[in-house]
Amino acid sequence: MSLTPKVAVVTGATSGIGLAVTRALAACGHQVFLCARTARTVAATVRELQAEALDVDGTAGDVRDRDDIRRVVRHAVDRFGTVDVLVNNAGRCGGGSTAELTDEMWFDVLDTNLNSVFLMTREVLTAGGMRDKKRGRIINIASTDGTRDDVLGTPYSASKHGVIGFTKALANELAPTGITVNAVCPGHVETPTARRIRREYAAAYGIGEEAALKTFRSKIPLGRYSTPAEVAGLVGYLTTDTAASITAQTLNVCGGLGTS
């Protein structure tokens, strides 16, 4: 694969998929600026990755907050220069019986998973300098639930369907500029969030966590969860020069789950 090292920004980058993506991009030679909500966790992650001789930095930022987004992108540009790669990874799960959902739950899931993708993308295109280049990569972490249903997860499913729609529309808008936009859709990935989802599922259906895990695995043709590194591998490929003609795509990393 042909790869020209660039400046990347990754949101939600201190655990799970976001951390794996940050590590993978930096290992390929990108300068990576990361953000997440908790300053202490961001600082610890930066120290950990710098100890691995990776060129990373970061700052705390809440992707639901416009001022925080502006600050994160400004710091990224000040530290490494204008942005070439944006990975919108920050997100949250959430759901339950739709009739019992609170306004707070619904709007927080949409703000975190969908509205943040628009806000961060707009800021990177403008203040981040991406739209003035002849090359760029915007990669949105969606979900197989963005193309399928998610029982007891209407806010999450709605948000991820929205991310995919945003991705396709923006990709066609930006195609003449050389900026590509794609959605990577993980299925079940072994992360702290996945473990929390299994606990919530077990509680909702009155079963044990091992039974919940068995239920989830039974729906995956490969019979196992994907790993964060496997998702990061696809994200990394999409940043390469070789992937320059891939845009407006919804690409699954799911062990076959998204086709069942």
Cα 21 to the center of its chain, rounded Å? 9
Which pair of tokens denotes residue 149? 């249903």
How many residues belong to the chain? Answer: 260
Q: Exposed, middle or buried, 52 (CB in 10 Å: 0-12/13-18/19+)? A: exposed
Active-site annotation holder among 156, 201, 225, 237: 156
Active site residue 156: yes
DSSP string, 162-227: HHHHHHHHHHHHHGGGTEEEEEEEE-SB-SHHHHHHHHHHHHHHT--HHHHHHHHHHTSTTSS-B-
Name the H helices within the chain.
16-27, 39-51, 66-80, 103-110, 116-125, 154-174, 192-205, 209-218, 228-238
Which pair of tokens denotes residue 68? 């925080």
Which pair of tokens denotes residue 124? 């990177």
Catalytic residue IDs: 156
